[in-house]
Amino acid sequence: MEINKQYLIQCITCASNNLRLSSEKIEVVAILKEHISQTPDLNNLISDMKKLTRFSKFAIKLGEINQTLQTGKIDFLKISDKFKEHSHLILRELSNLLDVVTPHECRENLTIQKIDEVKIISPESDNLHSEIQHENFSHVSENVVTLHLKQKSESDLLKEEIILGDLKDENDLSFENFEKEVLKPIKELDLFLQKLMRAEHNPDELIFFIELMNNNAELSAKIGFEVITNMHNIFAGALTKIKEKIIKPDPEIIEQLRACLIVIAAMVREKDVDITSYLNEAEKLGNKINLIS
């Protein structure tokens, strides 16, 4: 990741640590950091954010910091003081932004949707006449039959959509069912972590919980909860590395795994408590997994 992106993300993290954040605000912070880390053009992202009324003041501050990083000489002896100054610079505007933007609005505004033009052309419609002139009758007949079958297929597809459109996929989850599915294993997982630290776990249990958390990550993604999805992926990823004996389940790792569970439970239950420290611990575990992957 580019140094400018890392620096801005750390500034946002530091500033957010000084705020009392609800689970919803934590998700907005996570979305902001994710978009900064994944953008191919940081300057363009900041420029686009400046055009959005609710994001403009925050984006201006980000732009000032980014400009300093691009054009100024970095004095490494004073970088810690400069970092504190920059974190303080965005604190107020980050707080104001979090007060007015929901995760859905943040995601919707920052996501760049690339829509490809799709041109629907009837098969062979443009060159059917020329084919009749140059091909024998049997070949033309095959083209006509193929065209007819494709048209019939489209018609059948429309009928199926009309007939089946109102039927609900039995795998679709309401939020209530999602909440139940995700919260149900939390206590069991917490107990399992203690067994894991004492090396009293069953290898089959480890495999079971890896699959469970991967499945719940997919469910969370379907509902649209990016942070909850990420927590499940980090948890499953860490268990996988433990299973492969790449990392040891020492007390620090266990506490970071528990932090994932706490973030999941707090956000699903929409508890208005500050879970920033737990989110930071979980993200440390995620970074650790990424480094050794």
pLDDT in tens, 116-142: 323 333 444 444 444 444 444 444 444
Whether the per-residue pLDDT at 170 is higher than 70: the answer is no
Averaged pLDDT score across all residues of the chain = 78
Query: 27 Cβ partners below 8 Å, 6+ apart?
Result: 103, 225, 226, 227, 267
Output the CA–CA distances (angstroms, integers) from residue 83 to 15, 33, 80, 254, in the order listed.
11, 17, 5, 31
Quickly tell me which residue has 């033309």 as its tokens: 140
What are the residue boundaries of the structural domains of the chain, listed by start? 3-110, 175-292
Output the CA–CA distances (angstroms, integers) from residue 25 to 32, 60, 130, 133, in the order listed.
11, 20, 63, 67
Say what percent of the chain tops pLDDT 90: 32
Please give the residue that has the higher pLDDT: either 172 or 283: 283
The backbone torsions φ and ψ at residue 115, rounded to the nearest 5 degrees and listed phi first, read -110, 115
- The token duo for 199 is 């090396």
The backbone torsions φ and ψ at residue 3, rounded to the nearest 5 degrees and listed phi first, read -60, -35
Q: Say how far apart CA 82 and CA 61 lie, in whole Å.
A: 14
Whether the per-residue pLDDT at 12 is higher than 50: the answer is yes
Could you count the other beta carbons within 10 Å of the beta carbon of residue 124?
16
Whether the per-residue pLDDT at 257 is higher than 90: the answer is yes
Whether the per-residue pLDDT at 24 is higher than 90: the answer is no
Minimum mean pLDDT among 53-57, 221-225, 236-240, 265-269: which range? 221-225
For 81-91, write each residue's pLDDT tens digit: 778 888 888 88
The predicted model scores a pTM of 0.51
Answer CATH for 175-292 from 3.30.70.270, 3.30.230.70, 1.20.120.160, 3.40.50.300: 1.20.120.160
Whether the per-residue pLDDT at 216 is higher than 50: the answer is yes
For 136-167, write each residue's pLDDT tens digit: 444 444 444 444 444 445 445 544 444 444 43
